[in-house]
Structure 1
């Protein structure tokens, strides 16, 4: 195979030259040449599965892989520095946020190149620089605007990088005129620039992998990891991964995903917001599976609680950790309101740790103290709950995992969805992927729920609680009204400078389209420079 040559569509500068050195480019080119062609096939397989669901089929456990589910095997032992992950914080790879997250009172910081990051060229390049400096312990920031200085404290959180999903291209880098997979760019650059420092620190190179739908996708990642370790002469297992179970098809593939990556995997995670989005998207043609207002779809609902318990049971049987989901609340300065927020967070985390999760996520460091008290109550001095097997549980069936969620579809819920989606999309195409909106830290997943819910209500002519049927016309009227509300809230200057008009147009087009847009970030990416 001849040596591949990558084409870059953006002008070179000091930052990009540091990240895309000649050796780094050669490594990325090798990965793209070797592994990118299979990505098209994996995505095509997803489309074929979706066609079956659209024709009336439902996701289920695969009879062809029953032997994997029913036989005895374990994943490779979890490295010592990954055994204690009771509390993780997530956020984008922006420099100040990286420093603040690493300094938070948590065990792990998941630096996110995916749902919390708008993939602008500068954002992705500087994100890699920020994580390189973080691993070296040299990251700092002097903010001239605020006059504040940010420095890394002693004993920072353990850093794990989340790469983009297989569906997301990196249009600024091409091979033979075709955009390369963003996942390979993120993986290659993070690995290349950090593996020596990580090993010197007595650790390994750790990743979160998002949006998998099938164990063949996990097997693809296994091949990427083995290839990389062999190329750099490193022991198998230097690279370790946590897989987000955040698509509905993947919940039926958990044993198989663990098995496909058993030399590299350490945990599965309940990516609850994307999972709800995937439930809507996967079952979009099923009129008996339509979800109510987003605000009422909580983890105590039977289909979500079953998902949590099955993940724990599966992971602990195989020797992997079972990570819980995100608390997206932002603490309030109002004492009474803050108490309500912390009570909700506490109840959510009580359920997770009570179920047997080994750790959980927060989006804001102000929630750490509350969650810490919960996990100390359940774990004491233990690093995890691998001893909680849930083997005596009643068998969790496909029927339970697919059980519809009761609840109302309200005008208020629909209007909130509209305002959140407009504000998030505007921020995303302005270069920000993680945005505080109405007391929640919103990322792409929550915006996806907002817009797919309305799309599905329109397609199936669902009534609101007041009896009005959700139509394209009703949505258009509400969008015009709520866009004006947002315009008043943010002010004319922000509205003009932060792409709100483009956001309204994009939101309108994908919500009223006859075919569901798979990810809003795909047409959104076309609007990024």
Structure 2
């Protein structure tokens, strides 16, 4: 399809790196520039609307199912597109950053899907972003390998089926400051999507699958509509049939939970279902209603998926998806096996119970964060699904969820414990330190933590301080102790930077919406003028 060229050239403002020229080709940059020209202003308008909505809810406006879209919810006739090749059976999905070691392990793991995560599991250094694209290109070409400094080799198996690749680009709220278009940073979502789509979409189609995505942090149907329009233009620009792209939306904001059907409707030609993202969802609850005492949450470990408002959220997700012929995918099992057999047995038992709940509720599959958990998750879903690829026939007509059900947080309220406060401070600090070192996913205390867990950790402390259920001096003392402990564990860590991120994202009176944008601009961006 012939289109008008963008009036401005997309520019790389970073030093070149090893093999970067394979990804940052003139044609690929032109493609991303076309997406930025078409959608950059609209994306900025939607971010402004996010802020307006936040102010409305903070001022007391009720959060309800939109009246203007009642016809969409009440119309029983529409369905999303049928499952695409490689996405019919999704009983086990493994998640992780798109680095070479993770990619080999994930593709070989026996999971049906690997979700390559540029969002929560990637520290967005420029090298990480471009190297992640190289990893995906090499994976599609089946030339992916990796050898550790100790000599351990990782290779793609030549036996059996590799996991289907799905890519999670960064959210609409993030910029990529190493690329400029018309004097502005390029939306990071369009960079991650555009580079992968340009290089790998046709290759994936030729391999019998397609370009598939996970969409994070959406807050409403308009943001889903924007993604759908991005897909349409991208397919048209490269001469790919409309409907080839498929995307699963993570319902990880409370406002999106009120528009599940509308989000599926906007993406119906390109939809691959919805996913329940636990920690980001709790993070969103606090961000949205943290000013209210009836939304005060206890220690995060005590907010389980059996909490009434979490049950309402997940059961509505399954019912919504299956009513429309879409997959419902469960949340992450983040346990990381260690050397203690007894601890591993306890962790596996916890994972099994969590996956049994999801499978019995009607989910079609679920996430794990470590290859060792793939057999546990598969065994559970095998027991429910048998030879069937999914359970879309379970429409869950027994489920009726009201707005009050989705917001019934006060039924699990309780004071934070000293251990809970310290754990949150410790997790946030240690994750920030790893993120500054270029690690977006890090094992802490037997769990694979990413940006989502760091976010819930920090906003809980902020909420407790705001409502004075935790003493500020006590938090500052814990902060001092945990920073000192971090310095002893990682002597080369820039403790001033780690502490600064904590203080600016936790101890301010106004809660920053995310820790990542400011931390990224201040600490991860290394701009060197270079014409692509």
Q: TM-score, normalised by structure 2?
A: 0.95
How far apart are the structure 2 equivalents of 1:176 and 1:227?
20
Distance 1:391 1:282, change over 3 A: same
Post-superposition Cα deviations, 1:151-194, rounded to whole Å, max 9, x if no partner, equal 10132111111100000100011122211100000011000110
1:203 aligns with 2:203: no
- Name 1:92's counterpart in structure 2: 97
The structure 1 residue matched to 2:147, chosen from 123, 142, 147, is 142
Secondary structure (helix, strand or coil) at the match of 1:183 reads: helix
Contact 1:476 1:508 in 2 (8 A): no
The structure 2 residue matched to 1:53, chosen from 57, 72, 87, is 57
The structure 2 residue matched to 1:414, chosen from 407, 415, 421, is 421
Contact 2:94 2:368 in 1 (8 A): yes
Structure 1 window deviating more from structure 2 (5-14 vs 169-178): it is 5-14
1:113 aligns with 2:108: no
Secondary structure (helix, strand or coil) at the match of 2:19 reads: helix
How far apart are the structure 1 equivalents of 2:432 and 2:346?
28
- Name 2:517's counterpart in structure 1: 522
Post-superposition Cα deviations, 1:457-485, rounded to whole Å, max 9, x if no partner, equal 111112xxxxxxx1332211111122223
Contact 2:85 2:208 in 1 (8 A): no
- Name 2:163's counterpart in structure 1: 157
Post-superposition Cα deviations, 1:77-135, rounded to whole Å, max 9, x if no partner, equal 11142110000010001111111111112111100011000000001001000000001
Correspondence 1:118-517 to 2 at 5 A: 118-143=123-148, 145-154=149-158, 155-393=161-399, 395-404=400-409, 405-462=412-469, 470-488=470-488, 490=489, 494-496=490-492, 498-517=493-512
Contact 1:423 1:500 in 2 (8 A): no
How far apart are the structure 2 equivalents of 1:445 and 1:460?
23
- Name 2:529's counterpart in structure 1: none
TM superposition shift of 1:524: 1.3
Structure 1, unmatched stretches of 5+, are 463-469
Structure 1 window deviating more from structure 2 (441-450 vs 324-333): it is 324-333
How far apart are the structure 2 equivalents of 1:406 and 1:455?
16
TM superposition shift of 1:16: 2.0
How far apart are the structure 1 equivalents of 2:165 and 2:255?
28
Secondary structure (helix, strand or coil) at the match of 1:432 reads: coil
TM superposition shift of 1:6: 1.4
Contact 1:56 1:286 in 2 (8 A): no
How far apart are the structure 2 equivalents of 1:299 and 1:101?
26
TM superposition shift of 1:230: 1.3
Structure 1 window deviating more from structure 2 (106-115 vs 230-239): it is 230-239
Post-superposition Cα deviations, 1:489-528, rounded to whole Å, max 9, x if no partner, equal x1xxx232x3333112210222111110110111210211
Secondary structure (helix, strand or coil) at the match of 1:81 reads: coil
Query: More relative contact order in 1 or in 2 (CA 8 Å, sep 6+)?
Result: 2
Secondary structure (helix, strand or coil) at the match of 1:268 reads: strand
Structure 2, unmatched stretches of 5+, are 527-532
TM superposition shift of 1:14: 4.5
Contact 2:319 2:396 in 1 (8 A): yes
1:102 aligns with 2:97: no
- Name 2:530's counterpart in structure 1: none
How far apart are the structure 2 equivalents of 1:388 and 1:407?
35
TM superposition shift of 1:360: 0.2
TM superposition shift of 1:142: 2.2
How far apart are the structure 2 equivalents of 1:420 and 1:499?
16
How far apart are the structure 2 equivalents of 1:485 and 1:29?
45
How far apart are the structure 2 equivalents of 1:363 and 1:425?
19
Aligned-pair Cα RMSD in Å = 1.2
How far apart are the structure 2 equivalents of 1:247 and 1:209?
12
Count of residues paired in the alignment: 515
Post-superposition Cα deviations, 1:426-471, rounded to whole Å, max 9, x if no partner, equal 1111111000001000000000000000101111112xxxxxxx13
Q: TM-score, normalised by structure 1?
A: 0.95
- Name 1:466's counterpart in structure 2: none
- Name 1:35's counterpart in structure 2: 39
TM superposition shift of 1:70: 0.4
Post-superposition Cα deviations, 1:322-345, rounded to whole Å, max 9, x if no partner, equal 000001111132121111111111
Post-superposition Cα deviations, 1:228-282, rounded to whole Å, max 9, x if no partner, equal 1111222111111010000010000001000001100111000111111111111
